[in-house]
Amino acid sequence: MTVQTMTGPSGTSRSSPSAPTRARPRWRDRDKQTLAAWLFLLPSLIGFALFTAGPVLAAGVISLLDWNLFSPPSFAGVRNFVRLADDSTFWSALGNTAYFTFASVPLTMLVSLALALLLNQGLRQVAVFRSLLLLPYATITVAVAFVWIWLYIPQDGLVNSALSVVGIQGPAWLISDAWAMPALIAMSVWKGFGFGMVVFLAGLQAIPQQLYEAATIDGTGPWQRFRHVTLPMLSPSVFFVVVTSVIASFQVFDQALIMTEGGPGSSTTTLVMYIYRTAFQNYDQGYAAAESLVLFGFIVVITAVQFRLQRKLVHYDN
Amino acid sequence: MTTEVKRRLIVFACFLVTAVTLIPIVMMVLVAFQSDAESMAARPSFWPSSWHPENLTRAFDLVPLGRYLLNTVIFAAGTTLLETVTAALAAYAFARLEFRGRGWLFGIYLATLMVPTQVTLIPQFVLVAKLHGIDTWPGMILPHAFTALGVFLLRQFFLGIPRDYEEAARLDGANRWQTFTRVILPLAVPAVATLAVFKFISQWNNLLWPLVISNSDATRTVAVGLQVFQDSNGTQWNLLLMAATITTLPLIVIFFLTQRWFVRGITMSGLGGR
Amino acid sequence: MSHTLSRRALLGWAAVGGMGAAGLLSGCSSRPAGAATWSIWSTSAAEGQVWADFSRYVEQQLGVRSIPTLTPTDGYPTKLDLQLVSGTASLVTGVLGWLLPTYAARGAHRPLDDLIAGDPDFDVKDFYPTGRDICSFDGRTYAIPFDVAPTVLYYNKSILDAHGIPPPSPTEPMSWTRFRELAIELSQPADQYGFTCAPQIDDLVSWIYCAGGDVLNPDATASALDAPEAMAALEFVIGLFTRDRAAPPIRNLVTENPLANFLQGNVAFMQNGPWQVVNARKAKFDWDVVPFPAGPAGSTPRVSGSGFAIPAGTAEEDLPLAWSLLKTLTSTGALNIYARAGRNNPARRTAGSAFRPPPDNLGIVARILAGELAGGHPYRVTTNWYQVRLLLNQELPRAFLGQVSVREAVDAVTPRLNVLIRQHQDNVRLAEQRRR
């Protein structure tokens, strides 16, 4: 049995009240929707405008100022943005962050998807594994970051010990210029896969069984079913996870700060770490705000690209 | 391959994957039981040479962990509840209702996700200070209860719900509110539960905001409390990790007990489902 | 239909709003009038206890309620910044010595000279000169010190005894040559090391001072790291790591902890502040402290301290209470409490010494501060020391790891350091302009 698309009776007509005798204007369906929409939006919108959008706007205004937090600010115009062009630390931080994002997001997605598929078998025993696998995501960063520092110790950390068992001499990881970022990426994939895993699990649950049954009846194999049923039906979730993961990865901060403080040199200095230092250590608020706006710009462009691709790749049942 | 063998294989695979993935967590728990000297040693050892279960009570002694746990529950639950409710309502508007400026408004919501919290920290703090909210529950909860993540997640999910359900309800004479509460929301339980879990976990572990907003133990959370084990003279790893273990376990237990909300499938008549 | 919709939605929102408003009003925590509010960093329960004792003392002395705000050390500066910018800072705030110029130059705190001058009872001379130096910027006093201490050398008695080496003189600093000899000799057995320190500027600077050098030149207009004195010091210390292999291998630049190395029991000498004495007492071996090894300019290691300051925005009518509170927090009575806790040295001569036996030689800390033996050099920092410290700690460890030579590391650092020092001078000029 395939999904029946129900169509409403064609040409729904409403009897319009006789216009001249009523003082009230007619509510068109569009207006009703608008009113309904604003009422639904209101609770979120008020809090959002005050506590989320307001501060973001304030940051935008600050980017036009020269302000050290404690003395009165002075107007700087676009000077902060012009400074950015020559700031090699900013661009190297951007490079580091892009490297981090484009490596960790695909890896994390793959792990999340694979695990979600594995755990979606509907078996009762699997329930406990689902909870356990959320532990990396749920444990506070400061605790796991320190355990990973130990894992990465060059001489006798677990990672290099395990590698030496198969005959590979592991690099110096967190104290090596070239390997500090890969070390951070690996740790971040481990810490972050739980998010996608739970979202994909919810998405997989929402796929009607009928679609799989129909496909099986048509004689398709498991891989075909995955490609033609699972992936398209899961695509809104995939889209959501990709967009939010990219946005979050561009803002990576905690684990980099704890594990390497941006070193060795500045090989793991990420954009948000640089912004935080500019704001709270260099006390250059305007410059920090300008940096965040440029970061924002990059993320907007990348997200816009993803939204464009969404039209082609994401399947919504409309 | 018989279903029984397949089943066993899957369980085995799950077990293997979980075991490997959780090695760092296991280490964390092991170090939590070590003696002070062993855990602070320059060369770490993982298997404790002597077990110290008293670290459990010691962690509670050094810091009012019980009070902090309660505060953390209030903070995490408060922000989660507020965000989930307001986001569900707003997401429905974005997903299903036509109004002018919808695209723009959603874009603004999304845009706020792309500005790091370190940058909005100062304006948010000054705002809360002006509203006399420093060291109060509303001051702590409200600024973090209206992020765009919830609206985005639920909007995506709502977009994926086939319109047929709403059409059917409309034909049965339901108004928008009834459609929302009786048709959309029950279908959206896995997504709403997902949002609730993420929000709860992220606010449970939120360090910076509770640190700057709360001035006393009456509102301090566990994340701030963990700092106690990291004083300027060095970090007491065993107690820090013991406290981290104690405070993460409730999250996992909650998630485990609420599993069924994540795995509920579609059960509307006419579409079957599992 | 619209009616039911709007009513329900409005009801829901009104409930939320009402709760929020009620909560905001009831939870109002603006500063209660007449209370003595102060903020300081405090992480462990033991530190918290010290400040609780201070609080009781303040209430006894001033007869008003004392409300301290304790914040974990790592988050303290950020929280202080937010409080200062939002006008919700306490009457008196603790300030780390190395951050004092950073805050002072930007107008965060109020100069105290007028209050000191107008108060004949306040005995400024009772404070150690190095402490007062640390709490001043550009000729003005911005804080009253409450603790101050020089870096010292800890040594593992058991290791020295096992090698038949007599303990170093308790009052005469040993020479660098002698120190190096010992460090190398005590690293001969496998898995034994002669010396440990952090591969960071905070520890390096003590050696630079003892060699007669500094990070900045005398008028703080350029870097002095490439001067012969500083280079000699850097070559010496880094040489102990790379050439002499007298120090334990570095495992992680962030968590490298000399105290942890020392407590392992296989390191003979540790460079550290006396504030680690409380933790060093957990050692399973005999240990003691001696003055820092003397270089060409003598034994003049870094002296660091902290003070209490008054925020710049403090209202005129609150100043008398703020000043009384400040005096009380740094009075002999209060600092005696600090001394009894044994965590760090009080900044006043008349307050007792924090460092009492065990072990036997701890008394030298107070004597060094009093100028009776060895010496010290106040930590000389810029108004952008966060950035200077970050630069130096990013580049200099490469030399410790043997990736580059000391010369190469310093050459890599010097241009950027000069830029930062020029920015420091700009900050100083701006601060002076603001005052007029």
Taking residue C290's Cβ as centre, other Cβ atoms within 10 Å add up to 22
Q: For residue C70, which phi and psi values (nearest 5 degrees)?
A: -100, 130
- Lookup result for tokens 């004195």: C229
Q: CA–CA separation, C157 vs C287, rounded Å?
A: 5
Considering only residues 179 to 218 of chain C, which have any Cβ-Cβ distance to chain B shorter than 8 Å? none
Nearest to A235 by CA among A309, A134, A305, A130: A309
Listed by start position, the domains of chain C span 7-148+305-369, 152-300+376-431
The whole-angstrom separation of Cα C201 and Cα C197 is: 10
The verdict on C84 touching A (C-beta cutoff 8 Å) is yes
Is residue A272 a contact partner of residue A255, using CB atoms and an 8 Å limit?
A: no
Which region holds residue B123: left if phi is over 0, alpha if psi is between -120 and 50, else beta?
alpha
Which of B23, B109, B114 should one mutate to test binding to chain A, selecting the residue with the greatest count of A CBs within 10 A? B114
The overall longest dimension of chain B from CA atoms, in Å, is: 72
Average pLDDT (A291-303) is 92
Whether the CB-CB separation of C340 and C49 falls below 8 Å is answered with no
Which one of C80, C252, C392 would you mutate to disrupt binding with A, by most A Cβ within 10 Å of its Cβ? C252
Confidence of residue B232 (pLDDT cuts 50, 70, 90): low
Say if B126 is an interface residue toward chain C (CB within 8 Å): yes
| Minimum CA–CA partner of B222 in chain A | A140
pLDDT in the model for residue C415: 95
Q: Longest C-alpha distance within chain A, in Å?
A: 92
Tell me how far apart the alpha carbons of residues A62 and A233 are, in angstroms, rounded to a whole number. Answer: 44
- State residue C427's pLDDT score: 93
Contact present, B177 and C55 (Cβ < 8 Å):
no
**Cβ contact (<8 Å) for A316 and B198?**
no
Q: Are B140 and B210 in contact (CB under 8 A)?
A: yes
Determine the Cα–Cα distance for residues A73 and A61; give it in Å rounded to an integer: 11
- Helix (H) / strand (E) containing C146: strand C144-150
Instruction: Name the CATH superfamily, with its identifier, for domain C152-300+376-431.
Output: Periplasmic binding protein-like II (3.40.190.10)
DSSP string, C223-274: B-TTSHHHHHHHHHHHHHHHTS--SPPP--TTT--HHHHHHHT-EEEEEE-G
Residue C39 phi/psi, 5-degree rounding, is -130, 145
Chain C positions in Cβ-Cβ contact with residue A40 (cut-off 8 Å): 9
* Cα four-point dihedral sign C336, C338, C339, C340: positive
DSSP annotation of C345 = -
- CATH 3.20.20.70 applies to domain C7-148+305-369: no
Looking at residue C29, its pLDDT comes to 41
Please give the average per-residue pLDDT across B29-52, as a whole number.
81
Angle at A62 between CA A58 and CA A64, to 5 degrees: 130
| Residue to test with chain A: of B8, B21, B89, B115, most A Cβ within 10 A | B115
Q: Give the separation between CA B186 and CA B189, rounded to whole angstroms.
A: 5
Q: In which band, very low, low, confident or very high, does the pLDDT at A202 lie, cut at 50, 70 and 90?
A: confident
Measure in Å the smallest separation between the Cα of B20 and chain A Cα atoms: 10
pLDDT of res. B142: 95
Which percentage of chain C shows pLDDT scores above 70?
Answer: 92
Q: Which chains touch A (3 or more CB pairs under 8 A)?
A: B, C
pLDDT for C292 equals 96
Q: Scan for tokens 């992020």, then name that residue.
A: B147
Across chain C, mean pLDDT equals 89
**Is the pLDDT reported for residue A318 higher than 60?**
no
HEC secondary structure over B108-160: HHHHHHCCCHHHHHHHHHHHHHHCCCCCCHHHHHHHHCCCHHHHHHHHHHHHC
Nearest beta carbon to residue A282 from set C253, C384, C398? C384
Contact A287, A209 (CB under 8 A): no
* Residue numbers in C near A36 (CB within 8 A): 2, 5
Contacts of A4 (CB under 8 A, 6+ apart): B164, B270
Write the CA distances from B258 to A207, B251, B265, C357, C359, integer angstroms. 20, 11, 14, 57, 57
Q: What was the pLDDT predicted at C1? A: 37
Q: What residue type is C131 in one-letter code?
A: G
* Interval C35-47 mean pLDDT: 88
Taking residue C363's Cβ as centre, other Cβ atoms within 10 Å add up to 15
Q: Do A155 and C252 touch (CB under 8 A)?
A: no
Neighbours of chain B (3+ CB pairs under 8 A): A, C
Query: Rounded to a whole number, what is the distance in Å from the CA of A152 to chain C's nearest CA?
Result: 9
pLDDT, residue C23, reads: 42
Q: Which residue has the higher pLDDT, C17 or A1?
A: C17
CA distance linking residue A255 with residue A243, whole number of Å: 21
The minimum CA-CA distance between B150 and chain A, rounded to whole Å, is 10
Give the Cα separation of A41 and A21 in Å (integer): 34
User: Which residue of C251, C386, C403, C432 to mutate against A (max A Cβ within 10 Å)?
Assistant: C251
In this complex, do B120 and A144 lie within 8 Å of one another by their Cβ atoms? no
- Nearest Cα of chain C lies from the Cα of A176 at a distance, in angstroms, of 10
**Contact of B273 with A212, CB cutoff 8 Å:** no
What pLDDT does C14 receive? Answer: 44
Chain C nearest-CA distance from A308, in A, is 34
Provide, as residue numbers in chain B, all residues whose Cβ is less than 8 Å from the Cβ of A129.
14-15, 17-18
Mutation for testing the B interface, residue in C37, C55, C76, C82 having most B CBs under 10 Å: C82
In order, the DSSP letters of A74-131 are EE-TTHHHHHHHT-HHHHHHHHHHHHHHHHHHHHHHHHHHHHHHHHTT--TTHHHHHH
Q: What is the ipTM of this complex?
A: 0.86
Give the residue-averaged pLDDT of C39-51: 88
- From CA C377, how far away is CA C375, in angstroms rounded? 7
Chain B: nearest CA to A211, how far in angstroms? 10
**Closest Cβ opposite residue A131 in set B113, B247, B255:** B255
Tell me which H or E stretch contains C337: helix C332-341
For residue B230, list chain C residues with Cβ-Cβ distance below 8 A.
43, 72-74
> Contact B132/C87, CB-based, under 8 Å?
no
A69 near C CB under 8 A? yes
Residues of C in contact with A258 (CB under 8 A): 254
Reported as a single tens digit per residue, the pLDDT across C166-223 is 999 999 999 999 999 999 999 988 889 999 999 999 999 999 999 999 999 999 999 9
- What percent of chain C lies above the pLDDT cut of 90? 72
SS3 B30: helix
Give the Cα separation of B29 and B25 in Å (integer): 6
The alpha-helical segments, DSSP class H, found in C63-186 are 76-86, 100-105, 113-117, 129-134, 157-162, 176-185
Q: A109-142 pLDDT, tens per residue?
A: 999 999 998 888 766 777 788 888 989 998 988 8
Count of CB pairs separated by less than 8 Å, A with C: 90
Chain B with chain C: Cβ pairs closer than 8 A: 119
CA distance C400 to C406: 8
Least confident among A3-12, A192-201, B123-132, C243-252: A3-12
For C86, name the nearest residue in chain B, comparing CA atoms only.
Answer: B126
Please answer yes or no on whether C24 and B126 come within 8 Å at the CB atom: no
Contacts with B, A 84-113, CB within 8 Å: none
Give residue B43's pLDDT.
Answer: 67
Chains near C with 3+ CB pairs less than 8 A apart are A, B
Interface test with C, best of A40, A88, A152, A283 (most C CBs within 10 A): A283
Same fold across C7-148+305-369 and C152-300+376-431: yes
Q: Which two three-digit tokens encode residue B101?
A: 């400026």
pLDDT value, residue C17 = 45
Cβ–Cβ contact A49 with C under 8 A: no
Residue A8: its pLDDT value, please? Answer: 30
Residues contacting residue B73 through CB under 8 Å, at least 6 positions apart: none
pLDDT of residue A26: 59
Question: Residue B170's pLDDT is what?
Answer: 84
**C251 to A154: CB separation less than 8 angstroms, yes or no:** yes
Instruction: Find chain C residues with C-beta within 8 A of A158's C-beta.
Output: none
* Residue B231 to residue C73, Cβ atoms within 8 A: yes
Nearest CA among B155, C77, B150, B7 for reference residue A314: B155
Q: Answer yes or no: do B146 and A317 touch at CB < 8 A.
A: no
